[in-house]
Chain A
Amino acid sequence: MPIDAEGVAKSSRVFHRDPETVKSVPIREQVLELEARGEWIAQRVPEPYAEVANKLGRAKKIPLARTWHHKSCGQCGHIPGYSTSIFWLHRKLGLDYHDPRDQTSCTAWNYYASATSNPTAQAAVALRNFAAAYESGYFPLIHCATSYGHYKEVREELIGSQKLRDQVRRIMDMMKKPMVMPEEIVHYSEWVHAVRDRIAARKVLDLSNVVATVHPACHYHKLVAEDAIYDPDIYGGQRTATVTATLKALGVQVADYSTWFDCCGFGFRHILVQRDFSRSFAVQRKIEVMKDEANPDVTVTHDTGCVTTLDQSQFAARAHQRRVGIPVLSEAQLCALAMGAHPYRVCQLHWHNTDTRKLLEKMGIDHEARWREFEADVARLKRGEIQFLGWEDADV
Chain B
Amino acid sequence: MGCDTSKYAAVPLAEKLRLFEQVKADERFSHGLYGCYECGVCVAVCPSARFYDFSPRWIAQALAREDADLVYKFMNEDVWDCSQCFSCDKCPRGNSPGGLITILREVAVRNGLKSAKDALEGYGRIIYKILSTGTQVAPDMLQPNAFPDWGPHVKEISENLEWWRRALPPETLHTTETSWEVSEQTLRELYLIWYASGVMEMIKEVDEGLHMILTDVMEEKLEEAGFALDATAQD
A residues near B (Cβ < 8 Å) are 71-78, 80, 83-84, 87-88, 99-105, 107, 109-121, 124-125, 128, 132, 149, 157, 160-161, 163-164, 167, 170-171, 174-175, 177, 218-219, 222-223, 225, 261-263, 265-270, 272-273, 275, 277, 279-281, 285, 312, 315-316, 345-346, 348, 350-351, 353, 374, 377-378, 381-382, 387-391, 393-394
Determine whether the beta carbon of A121 is less than 8 Å from that of B85: no
Describe A's contact surface by its main secondary structure.
helix
Fill in one digit per residue for B160-173: 1 if any A CB lies within 8 Å of its CB, else 0. 10011111111111
Can you give 7 contacting A-B residue pairs, CB < 8 Å?
A73-B135, A104-B182, A110-B126, A114-B127, A263-B47, A263-B87, A388-B167
Residues of chain B whose beta carbon lies under 8 Å from any beta carbon of chain A: 27-28, 31, 45, 47-48, 50-52, 80, 83-87, 89-90, 102, 105-106, 108-110, 116, 119-120, 122-123, 126-127, 130-131, 134-139, 141-142, 147, 149-151, 153, 157, 160, 163-174, 178-183, 185-187, 189-190, 192-194, 196-199, 202-203, 206, 227, 231-232, 235
In the bound complex, residues from chain A placing their C-beta under 8 Å from that of B199 are 116-118, 121
* Residue from the list A103, A118, A281 in contact with B50, Cβ < 8 A: A281
B189 pairs with A267, CB closer than 8 A: no
Do residues B171 and A107 form an inter-chain contact, with CB atoms below 8 A? no
Interchain CA distance A117-B202 in the complex, whole Å: 7
B127 to A315, Cβ gap below 8 A? no
Interface residue SS majority, chain B: helix
Within the assembled complex, what's the spacing in Å between the Cα atoms of A279 and B151?
A: 13
The one of A88, A103, A353 in contact with B182, judged by C-beta atoms closer than 8 angstroms, is A103
* A78 & B83 in contact (Cβ 8 Å cutoff): no
B142 near A78 with CB under 8 A, answer yes
User: Given known contacts A121-B198, A378-B164, is B86 in contact with A99 (CB within 8 Å)?
Assistant: no
Q: Is A109 touching B163 in the complex (CB atoms < 8 A)?
A: no
Q: In the bound complex, how far is the Cα of B48 from the Cα of A183, in angstroms?
A: 35
Q: Given contacts A105-B136, A174-B232, A285-B47, are A312 and B182 in contact (CB under 8 A)?
A: no
Among the listed A111, A219, A393, which residue makes an inter-chain contact with B85, where contact means beta carbons less than 8 Å apart? A219
- Which residues in A have their C-beta under 8 angstroms from that of B139? 77-78, 80
Find out whether the CB atom of B123 lies under 8 angstroms from the CB atom of A374: no
CB distance from B126 to the nearest CB of A (A): 6
Which residues of B sit under 8 angstroms from A113, Cβ to Cβ?
A: 84, 123, 126
Measured CB to CB, the nearest residue on chain A to B183 is A101
Closest 8 CB pairs of A and B: A115-B105, A121-B197, A77-B179, A104-B134, A76-B179, A73-B136, A315-B151, A112-B84
Nearest chain B CB to A239's CB is how many angstroms away?
13
The smallest beta-carbon distance between A318 and chain B, in angstroms, is 8
Provide the bound-state CA to CA distance between A281 and B48, in Å.
9
Closest to A144 in B: B136
Report the minimum CB–CB distance from A143 to chain B (whole Å).
11
* CB–CB B198/A101 < 8 A: no
Q: Which of A161, A218, A353 contacts B87 (CB 8 A)?
A: A218
Residues of B within 8 Å of A77, CB to CB, are 135-139, 141, 178-179
A285 contacts B50, C-beta separation under 8 Å: yes
Q: Which chain B residue shows the least CB distance to A168?
A: B197
Residues of the A chain whose Cβ atoms lie less than 8 Å from the Cβ of B179? 71-77, 105
Distance in angstroms between the alpha carbons of A234 and B157 in the assembled complex:
38
A84 and B168 contact, Cβ closer than 8 Å, known pairs A104-B186, A110-B127, A353-B153: yes
Q: Using Cβ atoms and an 8 Å threshold, which residues of chain B touch A389?
A: 166-169
| Contact of B134 with A105 in the complex, beta carbons under 8 Å | yes
